[in-house]
Structure 1
Amino acid sequence: MHPTSQRQVGDELSTTEFQLLTMLCAGQDSRFVQARAQLERAYWAGNQIADCACPLIGVTGKTSLTPIKFGGGPFATLEAIREGEGVGLVHLWVVDGFLHSVDYIPHDNDEIHDVLPDPGTYTFEAV
């Protein structure tokens, strides 16, 4: 979804956002189980930066969820691959034990970075 579309905080995650988050939360240890539980209650909480489709993530009912024990930095990372070549990294951030945001950092400065890579166009590998 392009950042200029009209969205309200509290709206559902876009299909692309949800698909990427599902892949980012696919790990097997208990932290990822907690992340998937949070994802079930996740909503779009705005964009990190104006004119960028890198979403902030809100989670409803935090008091009934177990916070993710994580010290900092990206919680999970996917390599975005197009035509067999890695073109960028998609990061999931956790802050204070809860899903916080997703960003996309292309390897090439010429690559479009204000839109998340579409799972219909790219493949992804966990890093």
Structure 2
Amino acid sequence: MGVITIRIGYACINLSIDAKTNKRCLLKNATEDRLRELISENLNGLKKVLKYNIDKGISLYRITSDIIPFGSHPINEIEWWNDFKDDLIEIKKLIRKGNMRVSMHPGQYTVLNSPKKL
């Protein structure tokens, strides 16, 4: 018989440490400065969570879909994938270091089959 490996993990919110990854704002308050601040805080929180997971041997984690507020909305004109590239690379390295399996899925209000065009 082969060895069976079970990955233990959790979804989105770490209640053991002070690290938020889902800070967001209302659309009417979504200025470039506010979005940059929220994205930075969320990515820094994610790095803390991933480090915690590595320390605790947690190898399965679902990242919140709120990590980049309004990431694909026209209000967010920030090229966040370029502007936060260093943070994203660091996150990738942490995931690889911890041999973590990560996932993400749309939030409850995301309607993929909506007849409404953006």
TM value normalised by structure 2: 0.27
Q: Would you tell me which structure has more strand in proportion to its own residues? A: 1
TM value normalised by structure 1: 0.26
